[in-house]
Structure 1
């Protein structure tokens, strides 16, 4: 970014209530980070923590230091407050499903990208419980059916159903290993009594015996018989390579 932009805000999310220790990237980068307006937020911050910061600074870009769940929580508030135009840079605690899904670096390279990189529109994946997905969702020991758009990807049982966002949309994979979706379309025949496959599309719908959905490492508080992930009509702006 060259000179420090006062419209860039660092959001440091931590369950200790203290700012996260950011990757050591040399004195120039540490000085740049230290010069930014910053807010120490709790882990998975809610509207009471984030909204006042957004209202005070009206940032052009936010740097989110934390976990995938923290990034998702910030993105929810940008969505709810009609601020999806705000650029989002991620300073992850470590390599994570979100860094893999979006091709993001970790460590010092993440700091360089957050400060100097350009933002581009990427799909915003929502769910019908009011949340968003930035890295990985899964349902374990699932019995039921799953469609991705009009493609049947599960009928019967699977040890893991895994869903991931990405530049191409929403990818889903049903199987026994729990591996992340690979972007391939492997439909289950509608005539088959059972089967497991994979697909990529705009929406993933699950109907099943009550099961626990885990989104970005956070378990839904109760088992559910159905769940939907879908691409929002407006993209979010992610700073990425």
Structure 2
């Protein structure tokens, strides 16, 4: 699946079928193409859109997903050691080994694969049962946990002397003044007074280099 502007540079090896899709493709574009083995070329947001369809169709457990990042600063690639060199990424996506990685969901029906951000939050936040924030912060960043437990949340306080505190758990909840969460580079359509990211019951089978 070659998404958005990735079609301007992606070249598939001989014998590999490709399908051109729009950026952040939806149900009508993705569902007819779902198969046990997929490779996605595009942005983290494009990958998240396709993984969301796997979740909705209950195909996470039976589908392996290779990824060819379109962006050098891909949070998904940085997390899981996927090369951002396009040639190497294609080779890995086609020949690597799939491993289960935590899939993070939100309570608005979306998924988070690389990085979630809330800027200037004000309120109370919990990571599982631990208070992660009471008051104001510069930012909250949530990522899947490479250790496998669920997610990692980093709360940054202070504008001059920045102080970072990390929390690990299965869920992160924020409530307070309206704030606009950003998941994999895509802002939620409106500010939210409450927001939760949490680990899904099934992992994503992501193709990576062997360890």
Aligned twin of 1:106: 84
Q: Compute the displacement of 1:20 (Å).
A: 4.0
Q: Compute the displacement of 1:177 (Å).
A: 7.8
Aligned twin of 1:182: none
Gaps of 5+ in 2: none
Native 8 Å contact 1:62 1:86 kept in 2:
yes
Q: RMSD across aligned C-alpha pairs, in angstroms?
A: 1.9
Residue 69 (1) aligns with residue 45 (2): yes
Which secondary structure does the structure 1 equivalent of 2:194 belong to?
strand
Which secondary structure does the structure 1 equivalent of 2:48 belong to?
helix
Aligned twin of 2:190: 222
1:53 to 19, 26, 33: 33
Q: Compute the displacement of 1:94 (Å).
A: 2.3
Native 8 Å contact 2:178 2:192 kept in 1:
yes
Aligned twin of 2:151: 170
Q: Compute the displacement of 1:166 (Å).
A: 3.0
Q: Compute the displacement of 1:174 (Å).
A: 0.9
Q: Compute the displacement of 1:196 (Å).
A: 6.7
CA–CA distance in structure 2, aligned partners of residues 131 and 21 of structure 1: 28
Native 8 Å contact 2:145 2:168 kept in 1:
no
Q: 1:156 to 1:177 in 2, by over 3 A?
A: closer
Larger radius of gyration: 1
TM-score, normalised by the number of residues in structure 1: 0.79
**1:135-192 CA distances to partner (integer Å, 9 max, x unpaired)?**
11111111011111112111110111111113332000111489xxxxxxxxxxxxxx
Native 8 Å contact 1:158 1:196 kept in 2:
no
What are the within-5 Å matches in structure 2 for residues 122-137 of structure 1? Answer: 122-137=101-116
Which secondary structure does the structure 2 equivalent of 1:135 belong to?
coil
CA–CA distance in structure 2, aligned partners of residues 148 and 130 of structure 1: 19
Aligned twin of 1:41: 21
CA–CA distance in structure 1, aligned partners of residues 181 and 71 of structure 2: 23
Residue 87 (1) aligns with residue 55 (2): no
Q: Compute the displacement of 1:33 (Å).
A: 2.4
Q: Compute the displacement of 1:38 (Å).
A: 1.4
Q: Compute the displacement of 1:117 (Å).
A: 0.4
Aligned twin of 2:75: 97
Which stretch of the first structure deviates more once superposed, 119-128 or 162-171? 162-171
TM-score, normalised by the number of residues in structure 2: 0.89
Q: 1:20 to 1:87 in 2, by over 3 A?
A: farther
Gaps of 5+ in 1: 1-10, 23-29, 179-194
Native 8 Å contact 2:136 2:157 kept in 1:
no
Count of aligned pairs between the two proteins: 201
